[in-house]
Structures are given as C-alpha cells and as structure tokens.
Amino acid sequence: MTTPPGRFNSHCLTDFSSMDIVVQPSVSWMEMNEAIKSSGLFFPVDPGPPAKIGGMIATNCSGTNAVRYGTMKDWVINLTVVLPDGRIIKTRKRPRKSSAGYNLNGLFTGSEGTLGFVTETTLKLANIPQATGVGVATFPTMRAAANAATQIVRQGIPVGAVEILDDVQMDVINQMGATGRLWEKLPTLFFKFSGTKVGVQDNIEDVRKIVSNNEGSELEVEEDKAKQTVLWSARKEALWSMLCMRESGHEVWSTDVAVPLSRLPDLVEISKKDLESLGLFGSMLGHVGDGNFHETILFDGAKERDLVSKCVHDMVHRAIEMEGTCTGEHGIGLGKKEFMEKEVGEGSLSIMRGIKLSIDPFWLMNPGKVFDP
C-alpha cells in the first residue's frame, strides 16, 4: 500500500497507491499500459492501437471496453490546458471525484482541440483483472447476433466487451490472412470476459446459454492469455484488413453512430440492406453494449463518391431519428458538422458556441471543427 510513485519515462508519474498516472498528450495508451503493468494497474479505455492520450481526450474516445469501463471522460482526473490567450490552467487537483464548480474535465474532454491545448493530464487507473477470457460465436443473421448481444447486456452479465462483426467483415479478415486462421463467413460476436477466476467462469456459462438460445454456434472460449490474443486478433485486425483490401486509387469511408440499445438491431439490419441495395462494398462492426456501430465502405472515388455519401448520410439521419447520435466515439471534426443542429437542436448549439466564444473569442483553436461561428 505504500508503493512510492514511479516513472515510466521522464514525463509520466504513476502513483500506484492512489491508482492514477500523470501523462502528457503524445503518450500511446498501449505503451503506457505495457510500461506500468507490473503495478497491477492499467488504463482501460481502448481505442485503436495507434491512439495517443491527447487525441483520446480530444474526441472523448472509447472502444471495446466501454461497456464495462465507460468512456475517456470518465477516467480524467485533471487536465492542464494552455488557453487561447496563453494562460495555463489545471482543471482540478487530484481527487477521484469532486463536486467543486463546473466540470471542466468533462467540457475539455471531447472538445476536439477547439478550447485549448491539453499539455498534461492525470488519469485514473483500474486494476488488471485476476482472470480474463475471450469468446467467439457465429450466428445465422445479424439480427440474431444483435439480439443475443443486447440480451446479455440487458440481463446484466458483466462482460468485459461484446463486439459484433458482420459476414463481410469476417470474409475480409480471411482474405487478408491477418489472423492465422480461417473464420466462418457469418455474423460473429466477440466477447471479452474479465473479473475473478470464479466470476469469469460464471459469466462464460451465462453467455453460452444466451448464445445458444439465439441460434448461435457453440461458444468458443480461450482462457490462456497468449491464445486469447490470437482469438481477439480478428476483432483487432478488422479495420486494418478493410484498409488492406483497398484497390489502388480507391478510398475508405469509415464512420460511427450510436442509438438507444433497443434500436441497434433495427439500425444494423436496415443499414446492411441499404449497403447491398446500393451495391456498395462495406463492412459493419459494433460495440453492441453501448448501441454504438461502425460502417467502413471501400469505394472508387471517381465513380461512387456520391453514392457512398448518400449511404452514410442516410445512416446518420436514421440514427438521429432513432434518438441516437451522429457519432458515438469518433467526434464531429469537419465531416459531421452538418448533423449537429438536427441532433442537439439550435438551442444547445448556441450554448456550445457561447462557451467557445467565452474561452476563445477570436476562434483561434482548431477553427472550423465541430461547428462554425
């Protein structure tokens, strides 16, 4: 309990006994976790492997672990920010929770660099679970897979992650050969289990029953750490395999939306039919436990841009009409500014603009992102 603070490089101070870490924005979350693993702690937010802490804060990112651990904003204890006028603020000291004044951590996290430069942060850490497992099952349809996933969440089985990949995505992974095995070309659920040894066993048995009740295959489970990585690799390689599929000169449109849990099976099904009827080549992948869903489309920019744009726009409008959001974790940037008003309304948007103006009156920070003046 009295482990002294440690450093993993000159910029990163870990206080193991308070379960937190001070890091700077260019630190990779994966390198950070590797460096501190002997402490028994880890940072549980897991976006794409190349992500750095600064970008993770800017977009309020999440990832596969969000269903268990929440999103980036839930793990920020304080932020040191250089403001547009050159002043430097630190949003808080180092309490794990506080009700002192406005929640500036929650405001700067997800503001996409429009309010200031984050130069340092203190992040909460979590305990590395005693035991973990990875599970995979296939389903005849996306709806059956989505139903199984939502039932698992709805019944409160504390899975570490539950991810849905469609048949196209599984086929692409096979074609690119990134994972050292062949997968069935079927809608597939990937699970992470984590907790105590006994707890993980218990969760696996509960999931097995629900998978079987929803026309799923036998649940394949791996409890050996090294073999888990292999089994999870299909999920990990999903996006990269799609990128590798790209023909020379072709482009990729990758996007995400999120909807209330009960609407996810509908959204997935309609979006899939839409892709097919437009004759587009796209794969689907979702963090089902959060109602968050990604579509990646490969296309010939010269011929198909308008078609792809229509397909994505229709999906985003559909998600918003289902009471969802145009982005669950990627952020607005330039590409989704046009949806902001439909999603949050002119009133909320004017409050956001007012906040921006109060902090950055000359619109200096990342101008043109999220919304216009």
Q: Rule CB under 8 A: which of 80-119 touch its own copies? A: 83, 87-107, 109-111
Check binding of 13 to its own copies (CB under 8 A). Answer: no
Which of the ranges 59-67, 134-142, 169-177, 229-237 carries the binding residues for its own copies, by CB under 8 A?
Answer: 59-67
If you count them, how many residues does the chain have?
373
For residue 276, the minimal CB distance to its own copies (Å) is 25
SS3 282: strand
Backbone phi, psi, residue 89, to 5°: -120, 155
Check binding of 159 to its own copies (CB under 8 A). Answer: no
Check binding of 310 to its own copies (CB under 8 A). Answer: no
DSSP 114-127: SS-EEEEEEEE-EE
Which residues 273-302 are close enough to bind its own copies by CB under 8 A?
Answer: 290-292
Give the contacts of 137 (CB within 8 A, at least 6 positions apart): 148, 188, 189, 191, 211, 216, 217, 218, 219, 220
Could you list the beta-strand ranges (E) of the chain: 6-9, 12-15, 20-23, 41-42, 76-82, 88-90, 117-124, 126-127, 131-138, 161-165, 188-195, 220-222, 251-258, 281-287, 292-299
Check binding of 354 to its own copies (CB under 8 A). Answer: yes
For residue 214, the minimal CB distance to its own copies (Å) is 10
Check binding of 154 to its own copies (CB under 8 A). Answer: yes
For residue 103, the minimal CB distance to its own copies (Å) is 5
Check binding of 254 to its own copies (CB under 8 A). Answer: no
Check binding of 62 to its own copies (CB under 8 A). Answer: yes
Paired with 283 in beta bridges are 296
Contact residue for its own copies among 70, 117, 143, 183 (CB under 8 A) = 70
Check binding of 318 to its own copies (CB under 8 A). Answer: no
Which residues 178-237 are close enough to bind its own copies by CB under 8 A?
Answer: 195-199, 201-203, 206
SS3 4: coil
Q: Which is nearer to its own copies, 20 or 304 (CB)?
A: 20
